[in-house]
């Protein structure tokens, strides 16, 4: 059991993709005299910069960032590994009297950093390979339908296109005979690792969608297609989980001759809008997050300072 850290809190800064987290995080870090800890599940990968909207070298020179460029795209990485790496960073910042600013849109990473993690079920290579064969024969939609039958609680939470999580949930069920959701419920995320201040940034939906469309076009101008081509030339194949992520997946398909570039860009825009909607749904489920409009910098700072004063 991870024990509660009694010293300083951590600040969690979340929000949907394209809301403006990077700009605001830089401003808050500057005012608080602290450093940023990444909580974006794609920015941990090396060589994946444009498509993940990773902070630039100039931004990193202004404010130190942690947990960027941690592993190559063909290396395994999960929530347990994130907690293993993030906790020492947070403790190190606390030891220097700084309040860590944890920034990202990956809700699970933020959750386990403050509430711990359900002990993982060891994988079974034979079952995993059998599931992969079944998915090729039956299709992902049927695998998700099976998950809904054996674990309806988790099946409703996992997106039907999230291949990794669908197959992992089925693997756990076949190994243990117990739905993964039941194991998670028993754990309950009831540990308290760090006292936390949770900020969620929002914009109006139409504005978010407009920014997403524009950002995808900007990424293309910055060389997103060349980035994906370079990754493939380095030997990172389309079967890898990061290469199946939003944006990369669509451009990989285009480079393999499946559809035009225009179609790929439109798909990225559409799927990113859907992803932003899912992010907002996720964070609405955590009442500890206080929602602020991204422009309310002074109000956010005042609230953070008041909460810190109350904790200390």
Task: Tell me if 209 sits within 8 A of 202, measured CB to CB.
Answer: no
Determine if residue 86 is labeled as part of a ligand binding site: no
Determine if residue 104 is labeled as part of a ligand binding site: no
Please report the pLDDT score of residue 122 as a whole number. Answer: 65
Beta-bridged to residue 196, according to DSSP, are: 10
Determine if residue 98 is labeled as part of a ligand binding site: no
Closest by CA position to 304, among listed 293, 290, 285: 290
Determine if residue 132 is labeled as part of a ligand binding site: no
Structure tokens at 112: 């386990």
Determine if residue 153 is labeled as part of a ligand binding site: no
Please report the pLDDT score of residue 190 as a whole number. Answer: 54
Please report the pLDDT score of residue 189 as a whole number. Answer: 46
Domains of the chain and any CATH numbers: 10-118+189-311 (3.40.50.300), 125-187 (1.10.20.140)
Please report the pLDDT score of residue 197 as a whole number. Answer: 95
pLDDT of 88 above 90: yes
The 3-state DSSP class for residue 310 equals helix
Determine if residue 29 is labeled as part of a ligand binding site: no
The 10s digit of each residue's pLDDT in 45-63 is 999 999 999 999 999 999 9
The 3-state DSSP class for residue 292 equals strand
The 10s digit of each residue's pLDDT in 138-196 is 999 999 999 999 989 888 888 888 888 899 889 888 888 887 777 656 544 455 678 89
What is the model's pTM? 0.79
Please report the pLDDT score of residue 251 as a whole number. Answer: 98
Cα–Cα distances in angstroms (integers) from residue 159 to residues 4, 130, 239, in the given order: 33, 21, 19
Please report the pLDDT score of residue 67 as a whole number. Answer: 98
Task: Return the number of other C-beta atoms located less than 10 Å from residue 131's C-beta.
Answer: 19
For the chain, what is the mean pLDDT?
Answer: 90
pLDDT of 5 above 50: no
The 10s digit of each residue's pLDDT in 218-261 is 999 999 999 999 999 999 999 999 999 999 999 999 999 999 99
pLDDT of 115 above 70: yes
Strand order of the sheet with strand 65-66? Answer: 65-66, 36-38, 101-103, 10-14, 196-202, 290-293
Determine if residue 89 is labeled as part of a ligand binding site: no
Please report the pLDDT score of residue 1 as a whole number. Answer: 27
In this structure, is the dihedral angle defined by the CA atoms of residues 227, 231, 234 and 238, taken in order, positive or negative?
Answer: negative
Please report the pLDDT score of residue 188 as a whole number. Answer: 46
Determine if residue 22 is labeled as part of a ligand binding site: yes
Alpha-carbon gap, residue 277 to 260, rounded angstroms: 26
């Amino acid at each position: 059991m991870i024990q509660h850290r009694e010293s300083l809190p951590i600040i969690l800064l979340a929000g949907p993709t394209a809301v403006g987290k990077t700009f605001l995080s830089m401003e808050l870090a500057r005012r608080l005299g602290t450093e940023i800890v990444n909580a974006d599940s794609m920015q941990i990968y090396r060589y994946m910069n444009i498509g993940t909207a990773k902070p630039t070298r100039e931004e990193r020179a202004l404010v130190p960032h942690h947990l960027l460029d941690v592993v190559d795209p063909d290396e395994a990485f999960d929530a347990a590994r994130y907690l293993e790496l993030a906790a020492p960073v947070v403790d190190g910042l606390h030891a220097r009297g700084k309040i860590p600013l944890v920034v990202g849109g990956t809700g699970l990473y933020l959750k386990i950093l403050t509430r711990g993690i359900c002990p993982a079920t060891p994988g079974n290579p034979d079952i995993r390979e059998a599931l992969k064969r079944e998915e090729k024969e039956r299709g992902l939609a049927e695998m998700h339908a099976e998950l809904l039958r054996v674990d309806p609680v988790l099946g409703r939470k996992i997106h039907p296109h999230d291949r990794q999580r669908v197959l992992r949930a089925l693997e756990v069920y076949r190994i243990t005979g117990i739905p993964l959701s039941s194991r998670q419920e028993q754990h309950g995320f009831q540990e308290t690792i760090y006292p936390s201040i949770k900020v969620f940034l929002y914009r109006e939906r139409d504005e978010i969608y407009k920014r997403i469309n524009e950002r995808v076009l900007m990424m293309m101008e910055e060389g997103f297609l060349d980035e994906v081509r370079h990754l493939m030339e380095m030997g990172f194949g389309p079967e890898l989980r990061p290469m199946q992520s939003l944006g990369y997946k669509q451009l990989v398909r285009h480079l393999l001759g499946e559809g035009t570039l225009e179609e790929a860009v439109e798909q990225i825009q559409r799927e990113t809008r859907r992803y932003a909607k899912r992010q907002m749904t996720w964070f609405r489920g955590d009442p500890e997050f206080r929602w602020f409009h991204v422009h309310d910098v002074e109000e956010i700072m005042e609230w953070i300072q008041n909460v810190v004063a109350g904790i200390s």
